Structure 1
Amino acid sequence: MSRTLSGAAAIVGIGATEFSKESGRSELQLSVEATQAALADCGLTPADVDGLTTFTMDNSAEIALARELGMGELRFFSRINYGGGAACATVQQAAMAVATGVADVVVAYRGFNERSGQRFGQVQNWAAAQVNTNGLDNAWTYPLGLSTPAATVAMQARRYLHEYGATSEDFGRVAVADRRHAATNPQAFFHERPITLADHQASRMIADPLHLLDCCQESDGAVALVVTSAERAKDLPHPPAYVVAAAQGSGRDQFVMTSYYRDDIGIPEIGVVGRELWRQSGLGPEDIATAVLYDHFTPYVLMQLEELGFCGRGEAKDFIADGAIEIGGRLPVNTHGGQLGEAYIHGMNGIAEGVRQVRGTSVNQVRDADHVLVTAGTGVPTSGLVLGR
């Protein structure tokens, strides 16, 4: 029997709070606001929702969100591990629940005060003290000072530069493209604040070879997405963004941000996701009009382009050299400004931008965006989506 998820479900509603450095509200309040906005966007109500998905790292319980919004009975709830790697998997879980009849309307949400509250970019002692295997893994590196996301990525970034002859300026071109797109996005924290390559190179060093402008923001805010069946989606206000493919992936000998002991210390987990997305959808890189690539750190955007098949191994520096990832290029990337330019909401704002591209409502709209690729956090077990009209 042939089984497929492709086209069975769609994202029909998107909602977000403003993106700031000091929200002044609880994380639960942020998630409530984003969910209200997403439901209003698609003309549904809290009473229609019978499923919720989020991250294991989210501090707002599904039942708390349901109570605050008056959702009533829930038939499905699910949480995904591995930080930013969970983003697209929340939609995958929602789509699978809808496609199998487990739930009718599922909201995927993520809300946090990641700047005014717990700042991810700083050393987090709890990460090495967790009573689980992630804590055990972190305990090998934290006492030696390898204890921030930038520090762990710097190891892989330096190896990438050594292996392929890339330079810090190649990383900088990603930041410049993101900020150029953010500059025309009124919702972006860095609206009207583009940067130049010289700005990137002059920014202070965080963890060699990563400059400040290689690193994503720390943001306060929330994003919510409403998923329902393809059939129901036809009767709702906006053109549906169909879930053409959805996948998760983990590489061999995978660790959380410190997979240094395998032959390839890059990000092969996104290669697993990419191959599965192409298999499910019957598409390939040549069919993608625009991509939202998880940009917690600029080197990982180059590595993703290679793992996903847009160019060969070590060729991303040449692929992006002529403006290919900017509006008007052959693969515009992060047209909302990405997590470097719009906000860092653990990748959920990137999924919302994918929906806008499919709808044709992005502030940096790409022509003929029939299929949009969206990825989640890399360096950890991750996930991805192909959204389509």
Structure 2
Amino acid sequence: MANGLMGKVAAAGVGVLQYKRAGAPYGERGVLTRAIVAACEDAGLDPADVDGFVSYGDDHNQPDRLMPELGTKEIRLSTSVWGGGGGGLLGAFELAAMAIATGQCKAAVVFRALVQGNSGRLSSAVMAHHVNNHFVAAGITAPAQICALRAMRMALQHNLPQEAVEQLVLADYYHGSRNPEAVSYGQQFDIETYRKSRWIAEPLRLFDCSRENDGAGAILLVSAEHARDLKQKPVYLLGAATGAEKGWGDLLENDDDYTSTGFEPVARRLWEMTGLGPRDIDVTQLYENFTYQGISSLVGHGLISWESAAEDLKFDNLIAPSGKLPVNTSGGNLAQGFIHGINIAVEAVRQLRGQSANPVPDARTCLVCGGPGSPINSSAIFANELP
């Protein structure tokens, strides 16, 4: 499969602001504009020169409303990925990169902002977007309940041991405890803390669930040539894929494979377009809205199999710097915080620059997986060197 993006576009700047839920000192647009300015300052680019804006997940911030604060000279790209979940995260990078590679814009920001005092609880927004009366009639009124149904099927159908799930949680909190930006920074977390936490929707306990935070994140993309003239080492987008296949869709809840999170066709195209495979990935930033869905994402990308999950999902194997399958080196959605996933993309860039709080030695490639189980899924591969 031809890949028109390989090596043409790079991440040049990142910015993220994160606060406890209901703790943001500014409104949502104020937090977002500060994140965009931070990304531009990181790159050494005037925010007024950003001419492209792409978001996902029903973000409420229209780019034209950001123009006065940013001093924007001209908007040439203003778009978003359909779908209410985090599955569109890497689809946003795909759109921005296509626009830059074809000359539609020169500097595009991929962003997501979430200040719940303005936009409301994310869980409520997800339910309003995704859920119709056949869910509510069965008493399903929260995202955790929907995902718990699939999680239970995964555990039973694939004999997934609870210990394997626990190892992913422990790895996230290990990384988060060492990341000054994480909500779990400096905190001790052990298996008993997890096991004693309350049930949310069986088999999901409290610490199986992503946190909700106020905040915003932004990543500045420019052409590879332009990036080489800016402050930071370029992090290249090798490829991105988004979509869904027959037998998968929003509100279906009767998918051909009920234990899948929908990544198989996306991953297949991603490997084809980049010429890479699971063994070529040095580190993975995994969107885990819930733990079981995160594990299914690893399976969907071929990094592990259901049969090997018990062996592969070991704490020592999942952590930096020594693990063979390091994941969520910032703490991920579970332990760093949750701004609808934009934070894991920021961590991918930092990891490949050598700026992560939990560096993976000599990491050259990073796989980023969008929200699992969303109606539209997406993934991307970033690298600090071109193949």
Which interval holds the TM-score relative to the shorter structure?
Answer: over 0.9
Which 10-residue stretch deviates more, 7-16 or 160-169? 160-169
8 A contact 2:3–2:274 mirrored in 1: no
SS in structure 1 at match of 2:174:
helix
Task: Work out whether 1:387 is the aligned partner of 2:386.
Answer: no
**Structure 2 letter corresponding to 1:23:** A
Give the whole-Å Cα distance in 1 for the aligned partners of 2:76 and 2:333: 33
Output aligned runs, 1:144-159, within 5 Å.
Answer: 144-159=138-153
Deviation at 1:116, TM superposition (A): 8.1
Counterpart residue number, 1:249: 243
Contact 1:51–1:103, Cα closer than 8 Å, also in 2: yes
Alignment of 1:169-208 (within 5 A): 169-208=163-202
* Pair 170,150 (structure 1): closer, same or farther in 2 beyond 3 Å: same
What's the CA shift string for 1:22-57, capped at 9, x where partnerless? 113211011101000000000001221111111251
Q: How many residues align?
A: 380
SS in 1 for 2:120: coil
Please say if 1:111 is aligned against 2:113: yes
Match 1:288 to one of 264, 281, 286: 281
Q: Provide the C-alpha distance between the structure 2 equivalents of 1:151 and 1:115, rounded to a whole number of angstroms.
A: 24
Q: Distance in 1 between matches of 2:164 and 2:116?
A: 28
User: Does 2:9 align with 1:16?
Assistant: no
Question: Which residue identity does 1:28 align to in structure 2?
Answer: R
Residue in 2 that maps onto 1:66 = 67
Alpha-carbon separation, structure 1, partners of 2:18 and 2:261: 34
Tell me, what secondary structure is at the counterpart of 2:220?
Answer: strand
Which segments of 5 or more consecutive residues in structure 2 lack a partner in the other structure? none
Secondary structure of the equivalent of 1:19? Answer: strand
The aligned amino acid for 1:180 is: Y
Contact 1:305 1:316 in 2 (8 A): no
Question: 1:96 aligns to what?
Answer: 98
Asked whether the equivalents of residues 289 and 370 of structure 1 are also in contact (C-alpha less than 8 Å), the reply is yes
Q: Secondary structure at the match of 2:122?
A: coil
Q: Secondary structure at the match of 1:324?
A: helix
User: How far apart are the structure 2 equivalents of 1:53 and 1:66?
Assistant: 14
SS at match of 2:96: helix
Q: Does 1:347 align with 2:341?
A: yes
Quick check: 2:261–2:296 contact (8 Å CA) kept in 1? no
Q: Is structure 2 residue 334 aligned with structure 1 residue 332?
A: no
**Residue identity opposite 1:86 in structure 2:** G
Secondary structure in 1 matching 2:316: coil
* TM-score, structure 2 normalization: 0.94
Q: How do 1:122-137 and structure 2 match up within 5 A?
A: 123=124, 127-128=127-128, 134=130
Is residue 256 of structure 2 the alignment partner of residue 263 of structure 1?
yes
Contact 1:30/1:111 (<8 A) preserved: yes
User: Counterparts in 2 of 1:32-71, with a 5 A limit?
Assistant: 32-55=33-56, 57-71=58-72
Distance 1:3 1:144 in 2: 45
- The answer to whether residue 214 in structure 2 is matched with residue 235 in structure 1 is no
Matched, 1:375 2:363: no
TM-score (norm 1): 0.93
Q: Secondary structure at the match of 2:318?
A: coil
Residue of structure 2 equivalent to 1:26: 27
For 1:297-308, list aligned pairs within 5 A. Answer: 297-308=290-301
Maintained 8 Å contact 2:60/2:119? no
Q: Deviations over 1:229-250 (max 9, x none)?
A: 0111111111111000111021
Runs of 4+ in 1 over 6 A off after TM superposition: none
Q: In 2, are the aligned partners of 1:11 and 1:241 still within 8 Å (CA)?
A: yes
Q: Is the 8 A contact 1:35 1:224 kept in 2?
A: yes
> Partners in 2 of 1:114 and 1:81 — Cα distance?
21
Determine helix, strand or coil for the equivalent of 1:13. Answer: strand
CA gap 1:362/1:388 in 2 versus in 1, 3 angstroms: same
Deviates more, 1:97-106 or 1:63-72: 63-72
Q: Quick one: structure 1 residues 322 and 61, their matched pair in 2 at CA, closer, same or farther if it must change by over 3 Å?
A: closer
CA contact (8 A) 2:127 2:142 kept: no
Write the letter of the residue equivalent to 1:5: L
State the secondary structure of the residue aligned to 2:170: helix
Matched AA of 2:75 = L
Give the C-alpha shift of residue 313 in structure 1. 3.1
Q: Tell me the distance in 1 between the aligned counterparts of 2:34 and 2:217.
A: 9
Give the Cα separation in 2 of the matches to 1:156 and 1:45. Answer: 46
Does the 8 Å CA contact 2:160/2:306 hold for their aligned counterparts? no
Find the residue that maps to 1:373 and give its secondary structure. Answer: strand
